[in-house]
Structure formats: C-alpha cells, structure tokens
Structure 1
Amino acid sequence: MFERFTVHARGVVTGAVEHASRAGSPVVTEEHLLLALLDREGTKAAFALASLGVTDRRAELIEALAAARRRGGLSKADTAALSELGISVEEIVARVEQTHGPGALADAPRGKAWPSGRPSFTKESKKVLERALRIALARKQKHIGDEHLLLAVAAGVGVVGEVLAEFGGTYGGVEGVLSLRAA
C-alpha cells in the first residue's frame, strides 16, 4: 500500500512517527496523524485545513485533544450520554485527579514499539491508512495523497474525528474544499 503514497502522504506518516517519538509514545495514533497533517504546508490537505480555518485554530485544537485525553478518551457525545444518566464526567475526572494527580485518566496509548525503538501504529491509525486507500480507490485515483489521509481522519469515529469536526474539519467540508480546488 505504501508504494501508492505520494511524497506528501509519506511526509504525513513520517511526521506522525516524529510526533509520537517526541511525545515519548511507543505507538503512532490518529492524533499523531492529525498533528502531522496540520504541520504540512503547500499541499492539498494544508490548503483544505487552512480554507476551513482549522490551521488558524491549531492551538485550540491541540487543547481540545488534550482535554479529551484527560477525560480518558471519552468523546463529547459519550460525556453527554453519561450526563443524561446523571453521571458527571467532569466531576469524576476532578475526583480522580485530586486523588491520583493531574492527567490520571489520560491513559498512555497502548502498544509496543518496534525492536528498533521506532513507534508502531495503533489499530486505529492503521484503519486511517486503510480508509485513505479506500477513499482514493473510490475516487478512481491510483495514488494516496495527504488529502486522502485528511479525509480518512475526518471520516473516523472517535475523539480525533470529533475534535477535527468541532474545529471545522468535517468530512463534507474537507471534501467540498478539495473539490473546489480541483475545479
């Protein structure tokens, strides 16, 4: 599959590995892929993120991802559902952090690094790469570009896709901007 990746898509994957390494993570997560996409300049994904205003709100987006990690990876939808049952996630987080320290629920990503020490990819991040391939094939394109990776992250369910959508990077929005650029 990686032979189909463009130079820009390979740059995203390399950037995600670097983000994981800098964070001391043994694995590359969807969050690392998103951060690497935000690092790109002069590419289709960078154009889409800038056009949607996501790039300008990078710091806020990173804070939202950190807040989700602090909630133990619960999405806002999960938090709202629990709230309807009378369970306050914020209260639980506060109590746990009071007892065990800040970020106690921010579980480190699970997985093992390669024997070389290089981070491996989580099941979820591998799904993003597979989804990017399916998106490219559905568009009858023979390559996988960083735009396909961005669409794959935006199409994902879970915290990273939710946070990206919250900051304007919905699948439909990304697709719309990319189709305008292609026209």
Structure 2
Amino acid sequence: MFERFTKTARDVVIGAQLEARTAGTGEIGSAELLVALIRGRDETASRLLDGHDLTVEGLTEDFERVKRRGGLTDEDAAALAAVGVDVENVVRSVEASFGKDALAPATRSKRHIPFSAEAKWTIAQSLREAVSRKDKHIGSEHLLLALLSRPTLAAQALEAKGVTYQAISERLAS
C-alpha cells in the first residue's frame, strides 16, 4: 500500500515518527500524523486548509496540554468543569507531588516508536478514501480526510478550527 502514497504523503507518515520522538510519546497517533501533515503542508493540503488557523506551534501546544492531562481533551475538561472539577488545578496538584508530566502516558523505547491502532486505522482509511474517489494515489488530501473521518484527538483539533470532513470533501470535489 505504501507504494501508492505520494512523496508528500510518505513524508507525512515518516515525519509522524519524528513528531512522536520530539513530543516524547510512546507511539505515533493521529496527533503526530496531523502535526507532520501541517509541518510538511504541500500545495493540496495548503489549498484545503487555507483560511484556518492551523500551525505546528498551536497544535503542539494543544496536544501537549492533552498529554499533561493524561489524555483529557478540552472537551473532557469542559465536561468535568460543568460538575465542579478544575482539571488544570488537578494537573498542577499532581505534578507538584509527582513531577512534570506525571499524568502523561509512559514513553517507550527511543529506538522504534510504533503506530497506535488509531494511526494504523487512519493510514488504512486513507487508502479507502482514495479508492472511493477513484484516485490511483494516496495523497495528503486522503490522509486529511482519514484524520477527520473518526473522532480522534486530531479530528477534534481540526474541527475546533472549523475543518470538517464534509467541508474538505466538498473542496476536493470543486
């Protein structure tokens, strides 16, 4: 399947490993795929994401906040706040007692960082997206659609900036 990927799409998948290593995560997930996609933004991805405030720095900060919370998203934190739980206060308290990133998942070996089930699904979904559009290649547009096709951390970050599966699909069709 990897041979059907364009050079840019291959670079995104390979770049996701570097993003995971830099972020200190134990596996490559949707967040790392999205950051690699934004970092290596090609002409197609730029056209599809034009007008949305998506930066590597902003995404990295958002994902770092989620990691420090032990995986709780802003949406999760808002739900907990509605019942009186201040997640940021809990994180500060835990980190004061146990150190920075005490709630973050443990990292694995520095040598090989595996793809999470979510990332594997995203890559396989990019093939399905290409096939459904009768494209002979898998490009950054297919990876973007795959990232948006399921509720993941990357999809939540994209949707928070107004990027939806339907909107990207419509832009591709025009």
With the shorter chain as reference, the TM-score category is 0.7 to 0.9
Structure 1 residues 67 and 9: CA distance shift in structure 2, 3 A: same
Q: Is the 8 A contact 1:54 1:168 kept in 2?
A: no
**Which residue in the other structure is 1:98 paired with?**
96
Deviations 1:54-92 (A, max 9, x none): 34x432222111111122111222223323333332222
Q: TM-score w.r.t. structure 1 length?
A: 0.81
Query: Which contiguous aligned blocks of 4+ residues in structure 1 show a shift greater than 6 angstroms?
Result: none
3-state SS of 1:120 partner: coil
Percent identity between the aligned chains? 38
Corresponding letter in the other structure for 1:54: D
Could you list the per-position Cα deviations for residues 6-34 of structure 1 after superposition, in whole angstroms to 9, with x for gaps in the alignment?
Answer: 22211111111222334454532212111
1:156-178 CA-partner distances (Å, limit 9, x unpaired): 31322111221233223322333
1:63 and 2:61 are equivalent in the alignment: yes
Does structure 2 retain, via aligned residues, the 8 Å contact 1:151–1:171? yes
2:77: which partner in 1? Answer: 79
Measure the CA separation in 1 of the matches of 2:148 and 2:155: 5
8 Å CA contact retained: 1:75, 1:158? no
Identify if the C-alpha distance between structure 1 residues 16 and 172 changes in structure 2 by more than 3 Å, giving closer, same or farther. Answer: same
Give 1:112 deviation, angstroms.
6.1
Structure 1 residues 34, 41: CA separation in 2 closer, same or farther (over 3 Å shift)?
closer
Could you tell me which runs of 5 or more consecutive residues in structure 2 were left unpaired when the two chains were aligned: none
Contact 1:26/1:118 (<8 A) preserved:
no
SS of the equivalent of 2:102 reads: coil
Aligned residues: 174
Over aligned residue pairs, what C-alpha RMSD do you find? 2.3
For residue 3 of structure 2, what is the aligned residue in structure 1? 3
Describe how 1:98-137 pairs up with structure 2 within 5 A: 98-108=96-106, 117-137=111-131
CA distance in 1, matches of 2:152, 2:87: 17
Contact 1:54/1:169 (<8 A) preserved: no
Q: CA deviation at 1:139?
A: 1.7
Task: Give the residue type in structure 2 aligned to 1:107.
Answer: P
The question of 1:139 aligning with 2:137 is answered no
How big is the shift at 1:149?
Answer: 0.4
Distance 1:76 1:23 in 2: 19
CA positional deviation for 1:150: 1.0
User: Is the contact between residue 6 and residue 143 of structure 1 (CA under 8 Å) also seen in structure 2?
Assistant: yes
AA aligned opposite 1:48: L
